[in-house]
Structure 1
Amino acid sequence: MENSNNFIKGKNFIIGNNNIITHDPLFSIIKNTNNINDLFEKIEKHKTSLRKEKEHIINKIFLLLIPLLGFTTFLITAIISNATKLIFLFFILSLIPGVPISYFFKKLEKLSPKIKSTEELVIEIYKLVILDKIKEKEPTKEPL
């Protein structure tokens, strides 16, 4: 903090000649509050809103990062194992809205003892995921 010529200059503010110049939102809260209890309440609300905003940003980052990491890990594994048809199939499945990856892996675990080649895997995944989604969208006939 500097003090020169009746001015006090801080990191986020300048005080001088009974004027305070700042861009800090907390100062506007302090300036516009008469009661000390209201002041503490408003500061807590401000802290809470900043915390929620920070958590929201972190959640957005993780929501974008986790599927991206999972997909890149899968691509690397698929490239190493030379399963180009599987890569293409996964890309197609990722374009279908409402197909969660966990659903895909649960179905795949049940199939793993039966599958002997990549072609069989592609066919089985198509049957499981795409045909199941078509069945879900078909209206069921209920007795009146």
Structure 2
Amino acid sequence: MLKAKIIFTILFAFISIQTSKADDLKKELQKYINEIITEVKEAENPEEKREMLNDLFEDLQSAFSIAKNSPYVPEEDHKGIDELQSKITDRYYELNGLNGFNKVQDYNLNQFASFTLQDIEQADTLLTISLTTLLLIIILAILIF
């Protein structure tokens, strides 16, 4: 139900206002990720936290891949998507101790979740992605998760 509300809100704002800025959509993506991070922090056991974070990273990667391959995404947005994918891939590797990263310890999962949110919030690449592409990524991320 939460997904439907978020999708409706995004679509309504996009269709009725048409003056939405990429910054507003960036905030919407951050809000979506923040809700998941909050759920991670509220989870009682480390396995559940780790699974939720892995699901988030995989869903974002899927959304980025679909958006990048969409005919509606301009070629100039591909670099920004690639940078976001790289950030998320690094967080995934770090969480799971892959590709030279040390695995995030169970007792550090809440802190890691907060760090991940801050990292995405501070991503300058979101500002270089067009409004249409950002909207597509948000909708795909919500639908996939």
TM-score normalized with structure 2 length: 0.29
Higher helix share: 2
Q: Which has the bigger relative contact order, CA under 8 A and spacing at least 6?
A: 2
The structure having more radius of gyration, on CA atoms, is 1
Higher strand share: 1
